[in-house]
Amino acid sequence: MIRKLLNLILFVSLSTFMYAQSGVLNDDLTIDPEQNKSWKMGKSSYSAKPKNAWELGVHLGHFFINGDVDNNIPGGFGLGLHLRKAIHYAFSIRGDLFFGRASGLEPQPYSARGDRASLIEQVYNPLRTGGDGIWFPSYRTTQMYGGIQGVVNIGNLLFHKPNNKWNWYGTVGVALSNHNTKLDLLNANNSGYSGLISGSGFTAAKFDTRAGRREIKSDLRNIYDGTYETDGPKKAGIFRLGDETNIHPMFTASMGVSRKLTKRVNLSLEHQVMASDNDYLDGIRFYTTYAFTQDLDVGHYTNLRLGINLGNFDKVTEPLYWLNPLDGAMSDIAALKQRPVLDLTDSDGDGIIDMLDQQKDSPKGARVDTRGVTLDSDADGIADYLDKEPFSPPGYKVDGNGVAIGASLTEADVNRLIDAKASKWCAECKGTGDCGRWFLPMIHYDLNSARLKPEFYGQLHHVATVLKMCPSTCVTVVGHTDVRSSNQFNQGLSYRRAQAAIDHLVANYGIDRSRLKLMYDGEESNLLKDSRMENQHYMNRRVEFRVCNSADLDMAAPEGMSESGRGTRSRSSLRGDKNSGF
């Protein structure tokens, strides 16, 4: 029955190991390790959210303004930085900084002549072109902004693989923008470019359609000096941070696609649109001399973004938009499918169930190991149930019955040798505490408990055996706790743990109490000072045994406890928060 119980424990352990290997997130990589642990044990419906990395990015690309003046493509540039943090698997927040420059040259003529000539004068007076009154707007705009954007992605919602390498996303956001527009309206003599048609060989046919605009622009660049010396106008009546500034709110929106290069690095191609209540980004308000534009000027920024995931991947995961939110559930289902069906059948009756038995036809009555294989204790090739000398001395040949040939040692001889060796060890250790290669075990306790656990009875038996073999030897029993609870409570708990071990040795093995010295350190001598994980706490909840040395003494119970170890105060009075000083 006991063996079947051990088999059941082994079965559960194997199942747990298979589950742990299924890709489920490590507890320490989540914001609530206890919740994640409960979920893996089936006590919680949901896993804990991962602690994920921040993304730092740099971007560079082409910037142009879609407005009243024909933009130069290619011609402008943009660059900047972003910092992104995932809030959920499909949504993240991105802070973005941008600096860009764009330019444009209009190939269709604007005229100051006619009924609407005053419009030009109102805006650019006294920048009259003179002569034929024809002019061609030419501008250069520098723009920058700082903004915050919400990013939505669904590329990591996967049903058929654990993670993605491609991701697509969209953003919307708000920003504070500042722009500075300059116009090229004056020549080197600080006067207008007069007679642009009559003085440059242009013909009226060139302006009948947009055909030939490259040639027109080429001719104009040969005329203009490329110096943008005139400030563009500011639109009246829009919100600004102060009348003297040109800082105003702006809306951004973009679409992009990302490619993961490594766990730490990804590359994105993105196109962004920048919109505001402003028709002066290119310095011009008119589509022609006679008509206002109906649309506001809009910035466009096509860029490459290099994203770098920050942090130590032993402590954080990749950003959530690179993780599959279904991974935990899918891994959980796969682990359940892999768990073997428990079958307690034991065909050969050796105590090892068939699903774990590596020798399913062991002879009846033969002793077997935990694998169900018949024991051969002396490794002489003869199984113990057939061996007439199961413990043959090593180094000797054996006969067909497993008896050593030429060896004169009997079991009694072996026992005498062991007793002699033990006597020598006892003599070496007596009164000095220096016992060479002697080893005394330690035992462990549950949280806030001084109850001996049956699984450590074997270690206590080992200590009792040493004490009986060496009747003049003294053993010191030292109690410890982990760092949780107050110092006062931990002192009492470590005392009670050491007392429980001593009581067991005295009651069950008849060891004289005077040969045992009780000492306790609470949490002061922890093996692991910086213990944050449960297995580290477990190592510190212990009682150690060692051969007494001259400095050891039998310590009295800590203040607030009787000599028996029973608390004279209530347990709650011994608890406290050490961080608050009690």
In a domain, 265, yes or no: yes
The more confident residue out of 429 and 247 is 247
Model pLDDT for residues 39-82, shown as the tens digit of each residue: 877 778 888 889 999 999 999 999 999 888 888 888 899 999 99
Model pLDDT for residues 166-180, shown as the tens digit of each residue: 999 999 999 999 888
Both 100 and 239 in one domain: the answer is yes
Both 503 and 457 in one domain: the answer is yes
Both 66 and 211 in one domain: the answer is yes
- % of the chain at pLDDT higher than 70: 75
Mutual angle of helices 2-20 and 327-338, in 10-degree steps? 150
Report d(CA 310, CA 439) in Å as an integer. 47
Residue 500 is predicted with a pLDDT of 96
- % of the chain at pLDDT higher than 90: 28
Report d(CA 328, CA 550) in Å as an integer. 57
Both 13 and 67 in one domain: the answer is no
Q: How many domains does the chain have?
A: 4
Both 76 and 128 in one domain: the answer is yes
In a domain, 193, yes or no: yes
In a domain, 353, yes or no: no
pLDDT for residue 522 is more than 90 = no
pLDDT for residue 289 is more than 80 = no
Query: What number is the average pLDDT over the span 210-237?
Result: 76
Residue 519 is predicted with a pLDDT of 94
The more confident residue out of 304 and 108 is 304
Report d(CA 73, CA 389) in Å as an integer. 96
Q: Which residue range(s) make up the domain with 493?
A: 413-580
Where does 467-541 show beta strands of DSSP type E?
A: 475-480, 516-522
pLDDT for residue 129 is more than 50 = no
In a domain, 362, yes or no: no
Both 393 and 448 in one domain: the answer is no
Both 458 and 484 in one domain: the answer is yes
String of b and e for 163-181 (b: at least 16 CB within 10 Å)? Answer: ebeebebebebebebbbeb
Structure tokens belonging to residue 514: 């005077």
Q: Which of 338, 364, 393 is the last residue of a domain?
A: 338
Both 27 and 175 in one domain: the answer is no
Q: Which of 311, 338, 365 is the last residue of a domain?
A: 338
Both 125 and 216 in one domain: the answer is yes
Structure tokens belonging to residue 217: 């622009």
* pTM for this predicted structure: 0.53
In a domain, 390, yes or no: yes
Q: Which of 322, 351, 385 is the last residue of a domain?
A: 322
The more confident residue out of 154 and 146 is 146
Least confident of 35-49, 232-246, 493-507: 232-246
Q: Which band of pLDDT confidence, cut at 50, 70 and 90, is reported for residue 389? A: confident
Half-sphere exposure of 439 (CA within 13 A, CB side): 4
Specify the CATH number for the domain of residue 457: 3.30.1330.60
For the ranges 131-140, 221-230, 493-502, 553-562, the one whose mean pLDDT is highest: 493-502
Both 314 and 435 in one domain: the answer is no
Both 94 and 206 in one domain: the answer is yes
Both 72 and 159 in one domain: the answer is yes
Residue 380 is predicted with a pLDDT of 86
